[in-house]
């Protein structure tokens, strides 16, 4: 199979989908990999690194799009890329179709096969291509709080660490998933008093076994949440909010309970999601204020740690990319129910239920679809 590894065009996006060692594995199995010029530069990988791995380097973006069987990238397909979509193409990337109706329509209209990293599952009911980025997002969210709590960056001048002679800062983390655990690991390691909220008792028990004693665990109910808001220096939201829900965990009015100088970090970055006042921001313009509370809602935190992020993402996606390349996309989908869960569009049909329900678009089950292959 002919595979194109693209340079990301999203502002402040420095990740690359496949690191040189992953490209080498694909080449070793007989596949042709074309890497766009400087695709890996932001992650510390040069064109020469990819050449040594057996890739061809190509500076003409259109030439890659128009010649390959599969596009292998990181971020969603942007409007300037829609022109290249075609029926005999496979798109393998983060898609987030229920947040981007216009992109979804472009994928459907092109009749390409698109598979979303974030929707591929595993036997534990987890999301193995999302979890590496989730951990980085959680850790990066805490580091952002550490940065923007500094007086030189507009914060109250509070170091998020246990310093002799000063009270330990309070950090509340909503969600015991990969993002929440990443944030908790750093916050607890810095000596903060950490509150973790979740509705899953088993998840809290598992987290409690590995976290130090300065971490408290409590059910995520309204009373506990409000109590935490009142005492917290930083609140980090790490849960994804269903797109169809109109309510919120943290309402605008709740921000008035928070201390002067307190901060909200929303790792999930669902606009008006779990946090009503959240709206996605960028690395170039990361913070804003609502009700006097600083908000940090950067929607691609892992890009700030591009080399680490690219390495972990490439490791996670490569087995699925390899299966598609080795077997062909139809057999790979037929053989693997977890890969099938990530199928977003196929031949003009929408195969992701969440997006179909949100936008009232006809849905075709991927399980039924593969019976026709």
Which residues are marked as active site?
96, 270
- Helix, strand, coil percent values for the chain (each to nearest 5): 40, 20, 40
| Distances in whole angstroms, Cα of residue 361 to Cα of each of 93, 98, 353, 357 | 22, 11, 9, 7
Alpha-carbon span 107 to 34, nearest angstrom: 22
Within 10 Å of residue 311's Cβ, how many Cβ atoms?
20
Give the Cα separation of 199 and 235 in Å (integer).
17
Tokens 């074309």, residue located: 34
Nearest alpha carbon to residue 361 among 104, 83, 76, 82:
104
The closest of 306, 298, 333, 359 to 104, measured between CA atoms, is 359
Cβ neighbourhood burial of 288 (10 Å; 0-12, 13-18, 19+): middle
Q: List the Cα angle 346/310/83 in 5-degree steps.
A: 40
Which tokens sit at 316?
Answer: 């996670």
End-to-end CA distance of the chain: 19
The DSSP symbol for 151 reads G
Cα–Cα distance between 97 and 333 in angstroms, integer? 19
**What's the chain's Rg over C-alpha atoms?**
22
Question: Residue 135, CB half-sphere, CA atoms under 13 Å: how many?
Answer: 10
343-352 burial, b at 16+ Cβ within 10 Å, e below that, comes to bbbbeebbbb
């Amino acid at each position: 199979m002919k595979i194109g590894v693209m340079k990301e065009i999203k502002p402040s996006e420095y990740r690359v989908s496949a690191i040189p060692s992953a490209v080498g594995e694909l080449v070793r199995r007989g596949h042709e990999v074309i890497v766009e010029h400087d695709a890996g530069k932001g992650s510390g990988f040069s064109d020469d690194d990819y050449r040594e791995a057996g890739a061809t380097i190509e500076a003409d973006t259109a030439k890659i799009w128009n010649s390959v069987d599969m596009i292998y990238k990181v971020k969603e397909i942007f409007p300037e890329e829609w022109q290249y979509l075609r029926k005999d193409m496979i798109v393998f990337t983060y898609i987030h179709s229920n947040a981007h109706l216009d992109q979804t329509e472009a994928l459907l209209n092109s009749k390409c096969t698109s598979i979303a990293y974030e929707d591929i599952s595993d036997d534990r009911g987890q999301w193995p291509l999302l979890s590496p980025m989730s951990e980085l997002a959680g850790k990066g969210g805490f580091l952002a709080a550490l940065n923007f709590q500094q007086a030189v960056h507009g914060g109250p001048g509070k170091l998020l660490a246990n310093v002799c002679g000063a009270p330990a800062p309070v950090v509340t983390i909503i969600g015991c998933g990969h993002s929440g655990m990443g944030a908790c690991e750093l916050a607890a390691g810095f000596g903060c008093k950490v509150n973790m909220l979740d509705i899953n008792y088993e998840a809290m028990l598992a987290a409690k076994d590995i976290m130090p004693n300065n971490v408290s665990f409590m059910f995520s109910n309204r009373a506990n949440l409000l109590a935490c808001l009142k005492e917290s220096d930083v609140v980090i939201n790490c849960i994804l909010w269903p797109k169809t829900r109109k309510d919120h965990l943290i309402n605008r009015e709740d921000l008035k309970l928070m201390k002067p100088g307190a901060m909200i970090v929303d790792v999930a970055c669902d606009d008006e999601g779990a946090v009503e006042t959240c709206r996605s921001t960028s690395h170039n313009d990361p913070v804003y204020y609502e009700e006097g509370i600083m908000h940090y809602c950067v929607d691609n935190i892992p890009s700030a740690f591009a080399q680490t992020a690219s390495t972990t993402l490439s490791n996670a996606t490569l087995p699925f990319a390899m299966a598609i390349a080795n077997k062909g996309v139809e057999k790979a989908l037929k053989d693997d129910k977890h890969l099938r869960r990530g199928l977003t569009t196929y031949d003009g049909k929408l195969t992701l239920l969440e997006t179909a329900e949100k936008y009232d678009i006809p849905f075709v089950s991927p399980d039924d679809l593969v019976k026709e292959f």
